[in-house]
């Protein structure tokens, strides 16, 4: 919803705000009930192939992820210098591929030549990446100016393919391609997921590709802003046929990579896919033990939401390790390059969405909780997104809960800066699965109004467990350094990092073992928590 790096969210400029039904500040229970009634009570030259060179000991397809992480890592995966904004940029023509499939890489550079290195992100003894493949030198070229689709204010790079990359021997996982100009004078990332052929018996990690694209400001347009930061000139649809701005990695490095490293370090059986694939492929979550939603996964299609809910209803545990999850309803539409390459979200201009006039209201692209087909995200996640921006300590209220085992916390212990910049809370007046217990209840102030951010744990009759952190900074905090050492950002220190790593490990191990309700039934405390707050 808002930008963690300090940019303004559309809530600051749009006619409606971030709360249920609009309004800019946190949602009080009285406001929620009133708005619910009004809403009706719902909620390398072109054509060249990627011969290149394999990284040391390239993996065979099907090698287990724990075995993969015993291979030596490569600490030289990080970008040393971006160079000028257009020195080198690129994008792939597919969000994901299966191991062994190929994809096109589209690159524009002002330099004479460049090289591509593919890094698989993981643990690797703390190196956190391994180089799987490296291309030969590719001749560089400056590609055409982007195309602008005026009706939806959509920017498409529409560049020629520079290289065809074959993924033979690439293990499933989250990848960053690094583009290096000659002499490495400029570098950029390009993300791609090598998705798993099967989720059966595994914990599935969802890369939030649609949300990365929603915030992507390449070409001076995103779903939030147009030129000059104007909300009224924002895109109504954004294209995957363009690079990501900045370092090129989208939101992966802040909101996803720290969890990938931790999950692979734990050695649990993992599977990888993206929200786009869950939305467009019916088999992505079949047989999963658990589904993990990462730090900021805001933009979902109704199909993705239904399939995640279906996996939960089939007994898969659900971990929501962020906030503002499943907040925006989107559609995926084709571009010139292929299917599902356009993320459509009209937001407050939903009456201009063609599906509104057709009367297909469940596909109209506004917030899930809003008119004309309100369906609040809390029925899936247990918590309701409430506000932006805030920054507050995370406060433990149920220290004896199993998710806190081994942390040594006591009631009232707090962790500076861990709640923010967006937060969720349990809102009993919204559709909320029960039993649900609030285990951390952190006071916050958002736009002058007092409220709480909640971490919650719940269980279902079919055996599934649900854990929701209630803060967007949870995954980011996993990278905080050890005791007494410098934190990541926002004052999050090594003590907080040790805490979130232990809690996340507890949750992932328990969820990987099977339906959590059988071993860890929830003890509902909502009536007590919210009676005391009244």
Instruction: Report CA dihedral (6, 10, 13, 19) to the nearest 10 degrees.
Output: -100
Residue 181 reports pLDDT greater than 60: yes
d(CA 529, CA 319): 22
> Which has the closest alpha carbon to 161: 92, 109, 115?
92
Beta bridge partners of 109: 88
356: three-class secondary structure by DSSP: helix
283: three-class secondary structure by DSSP: coil
* Choice among 4-8, 297-301, 356-360 with the minimum mean pLDDT: 4-8
Beta bridge partners of 414: 395
| Residue owning tokens 């979550």 | 285
Please, what is the average pLDDT of the chain? 90
Token pair for residue 112?
């004479």
pLDDT tens string 316-329: 999 999 999 999 99
Model confidence at 64, in pLDDT bands (50, 70, 90)? confident
pLDDT tens string 444-459: 999 999 999 999 999 9
pLDDT tens string 130-155: 999 999 999 999 999 999 999 999 99
Higher pLDDT, 55 or 319: 319
Residue 42 reports pLDDT greater than 70: no
**What pLDDT shows up at residue 418?**
98
> Which has the closest alpha carbon to 251: 196, 292, 222, 210?
210
pLDDT tens string 330-387: 999 999 999 999 999 999 999 999 999 999 999 999 999 999 999 999 999 999 999 9
Instruction: Report CA dihedral (247, 249, 254, 255) to the nearest 10 degrees.
Output: 160
d(CA 242, CA 166): 21
Residue 48 reports pLDDT greater than 70: no
**What pLDDT shows up at residue 40?**
38
**What pLDDT shows up at residue 18?**
32
**What pLDDT shows up at residue 19?**
36
Work out the percent of the chain whose per-residue pLDDT is above 70.
Answer: 87
Q: What's the CA angle centered on 348, arms 344 and 353, to 5 degrees?
A: 45
**What pLDDT shows up at residue 481?**
82
| Residue count of the chain | 534
* Choice among 32-46, 79-93, 460-474 with the minimum mean pLDDT: 32-46
**What pLDDT shows up at residue 51?**
53
Q: Which residues contact 173 (CB under 8 A, 6 or more apart)?
A: 65, 68, 120, 121, 122, 193, 194, 260, 272
Name the pTM for this structure: 0.91
H helix intervals, 123-281: 209-215, 252-255, 257-266, 275-280
d(CA 335, CA 242): 12
* Choice among 193-202, 404-413, 479-488 with the minimum mean pLDDT: 479-488
Residue 12 burial by Cβ neighbours in a 10 Å radius (0-12, 13-18, 19+) = middle
CB distance 415 to 340 below 8 Å: no
d(CA 272, CA 470): 23
d(CA 450, CA 67): 48
**What pLDDT shows up at residue 533?**
72
d(CA 487, CA 244): 27
* Choice among 84-88, 430-434, 486-490 with the minimum mean pLDDT: 486-490
SS (H, E, C) 96-160: EECCCCEEEEEEEECCCEEEEEEEEECCHHHCCEEEEEECCCEECCCCCCCEEECCCCEEECCCC
Residue 376 burial by Cβ neighbours in a 10 Å radius (0-12, 13-18, 19+) = buried
333: three-class secondary structure by DSSP: strand
**What pLDDT shows up at residue 150?**
97
> Which has the closest alpha carbon to 454: 381, 368, 516?
381
CB distance 213 to 240 below 8 Å: yes
pLDDT tens string 248-297: 999 999 999 999 999 999 999 999 999 999 999 999 999 999 999 999 99
d(CA 298, CA 283): 22
259: three-class secondary structure by DSSP: helix
State the helix-helix crossing angle for 494-512 and 257-266, rounded to 10 degrees: 60
């Amino acid at each position: 919803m808002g930008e963690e790096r300090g940019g303004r969210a559309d809530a600051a400029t749009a006619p409606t705000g971030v709360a249920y039904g609009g309004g800019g500040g946190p949602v009080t229970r009285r406001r929620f009930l009133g708005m619910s009634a009004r809403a009706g009570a719902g909620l390398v030259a072109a054509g060249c192939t990627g011969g290149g060179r394999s990284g040391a000991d390239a993996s065979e397809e099907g090698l287990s992820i724990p075995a993969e992480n015993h291979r030596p890592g490569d600490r030289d995966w990080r970008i040393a210098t971006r160079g000028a904004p257009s020195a080198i940029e690129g994008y792939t023509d597919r969000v994901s591929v299966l191991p062994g499939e190929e994809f096109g890489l589209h690159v524009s550079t002002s330099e004479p030549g460049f090289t591509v290195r593919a890094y698989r992100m993981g643990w690797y003894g703390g190196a956190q990446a391994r180089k799987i493949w490296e291309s030969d030198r590719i001749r560089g070229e400056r590609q055409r100016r982007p195309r602008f689709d005026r009706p939806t204010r959509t920017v498409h790079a529409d560049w020629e393919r520079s290289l065809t990359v074959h993924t033979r021997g690439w293990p499933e996982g989250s990848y960053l391609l690094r583009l290096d100009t000659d002499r490495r004078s400029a570098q950029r990332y390009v993300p791609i997921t090598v998705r798993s052929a099967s989720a059966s018996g595994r914990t599935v990690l969802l890369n939030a590709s649609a949300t990365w694209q929603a915030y992507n400001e390449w070409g001076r347009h995103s779903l939030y802003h147009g030129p000059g930061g104007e909300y009224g000139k924002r895109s109504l649809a954004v294209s995957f046929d363009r690079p990501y701005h900045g370092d090129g990695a989208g939101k992966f490095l802040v909101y996803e990579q720290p969890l990938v490293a931790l999950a692979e370090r734990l050695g649990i059986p993992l599977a990888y896919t993206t929200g786009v694939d869950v939305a467009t492929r019916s088999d992505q979550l079949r047989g999963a033990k658990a589904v993990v939603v990462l730090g900021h996964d805001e933009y979902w299609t109704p199909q993705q939401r239904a399939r995640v809910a279906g996996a939960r209803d089939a007994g898969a545990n659900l971990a929501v390790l962020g906030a503002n999850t499943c907040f925006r309803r989107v559609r995926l539409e084709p571009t010139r390059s292929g299917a599902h390459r356009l993320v459509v979200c009209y937001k407050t201009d939903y009456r201009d969405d063609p599906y509104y006039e057709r009367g297909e209201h469940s596909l109209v692209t506004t917030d899930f909780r809003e008119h004309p087909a309100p369906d609040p995200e809390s029925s899936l996640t247990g918590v309701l997104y409430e506000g932006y921006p805030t920054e507050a300590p995370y406060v433990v209220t149920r220290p004896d809960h199993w998710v806190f085992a081994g942390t040594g916390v006591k009631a009232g212990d707090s962790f500076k800066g861990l709640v923010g910049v967006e937060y969720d809370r349990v809102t009993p007046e919204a559709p909320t699965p029960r039993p649900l217990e609030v285990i951390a209840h952190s006071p916050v102030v958002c736009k002058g109004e007092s409220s709480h951010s909640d971490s919650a744990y719940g269980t279902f009759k079919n055996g599934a467990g649900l854990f929701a952190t209630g803060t967007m900074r949870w995954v980011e905090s996993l990278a905080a350094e050890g005791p007494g050492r410098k934190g990541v950002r926002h004052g999050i220190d090594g003590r907080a990092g040790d805490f979130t790593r232990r809690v996340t490990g507890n949750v992932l191990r328990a969820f990987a073992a099977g339906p959590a309700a059988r071993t860890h039934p929830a003890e509902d405390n909502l009536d007590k928590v919210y009676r005391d707050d009244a």
